[in-house]
Structure 1
């Protein structure tokens, strides 16, 4: 249905934000492919401007390859790699960085244009400036992550990798939430407990995303490839789970503990999603969204098991990551359904119903 005349300016804003959200989802998947192909350390310098162009001559390719040869990953894992093989991993990392630059431009230029046209309310402008700031921070976090693998490690820090991924998905979730707030909707009457469980589901989803990134960073999914048992038992021995000192290091560095935590979080998330769906159905409030979320989490858990049993091939690994983005999207939309209807003043702050100004 075409947008009403008074809603056309905000309709354009919604299209723009939808495109940005889609680009971020694509970038997360490209980042996943970069990690799965061990390509993330192929570019050892951070050049925000000049790095936009790839090597354009044999001499430039040789210089880039020689720079890669100076880091431990090449010496320990890829010694003897040909220039053609290096180009393969280089293109993954270069594409990932280029897409980040494209997203920044695609966000900033239309944003400034909408501000100049007076199409954004004060609250919406503040919110979008914060999102833009998080995007700028994400670039710095990305280099902070890469830098961790340039001197002593053979790969990037799993903690920095998880931070990088979760920040990207936080930005994605903020845009999805904003899009939902910009969509006119009636107030939804629902029990407070449904909003609470929806909040817990979203929070637990972010914790699970962080745990999954730790698993990926430690390559733990390629080590313990049995299910439902792990390391020969449903619950591994305490000696195996907590042998590192201090104890909390196991939560980030112990491959067994990290994967076990990821599994337990998956079970908890699935159980809570089922309970939430049943409660929403009985209360006849946002039941469709609750059911969609429960189905997506169920599918994601099943896909995770299949991916694990096959030792994380690239195709299944990326499918698992794509499903995680879908689960996050549905969790955000489900909570947004329970948000209090916008009062007139706040609606004006978002720019809802405002005509374009020349």
Structure 2
């Protein structure tokens, strides 16, 4: 790997880590303020704790994923100990998948929470096809998630 390629990957990962920390801070600071002011209902307090925990889980899974790529790569079978071997570090695909799935679950829950607040707005009128639309949305989400996992 060239040094320029390494720098590109390093900066991309650095930006990814900083973005995650920014999201965490953008969630925690307002949540603490709203808790302190008493703006949350008991139902919303529960959701905020769950979402905060999932954001923390994202960070933990991301670190476990990165840590899995820091191990010494295995030498291929048949290669003698005297031969030089520089392996390519790879992250474990299970940790990568868990990190991605938890992000999708977190995004879905936050979107669902936003829509539940929007749907309770007095100007939004329900319509007859809500159940079919809900089923179609859940089916599409499940198929998309299955495609991503596979």
TM range (shorter): 0.7 to 0.9
The equivalences for 1:256-271 within 5 A come to none
Q: Aligned partners of 1:103 and 1:193: how far apart in 2? A: 34
Structure 2 match to 1:146:
66
Question: Which residue of 88, 106, 125 corresponds with 1:171?
Answer: 106
Q: Aligned partners of 2:100 and 2:142: how far apart in 1? A: 15
Give the alignment's TM-score, normalised by structure 1.
0.34
Structure 1 position 165, deviation (Å) = 1.0
Structure 1 position 88, deviation (Å) = 2.7
When the two chains are superposed, the root-mean-square deviation of aligned CA atoms in Å is 2.0
| Aligned pairs, number | 131
Compared CA separation, residues 128 and 151, structure 1 to 2 (3 A): same
Structure 1 match to 2:92:
157
Compared CA separation, residues 181 and 192, structure 1 to 2 (3 A): closer
Structure 1 position 115, deviation (Å) = 1.6
The equivalences for 1:6-155 within 5 A come to 78=1, 81-82=2-3, 85-153=5-73, 154-155=89-90
Which structure would you say has the larger RCO, counting Cα contacts within 8 Å and 6 or more residues apart?
A: 1
Give the unaligned 5+ runs of structure 1: 1-77, 212-358
Q: Aligned partners of 1:194 and 1:96: how far apart in 2? A: 34
Structure 1 position 96, deviation (Å) = 0.7
Q: Aligned partners of 2:56 and 2:97: how far apart in 1? A: 17
Compared CA separation, residues 101 and 194, structure 1 to 2 (3 A): closer
Runs (4+) of structure 1 exceeding 6 A deviation are none
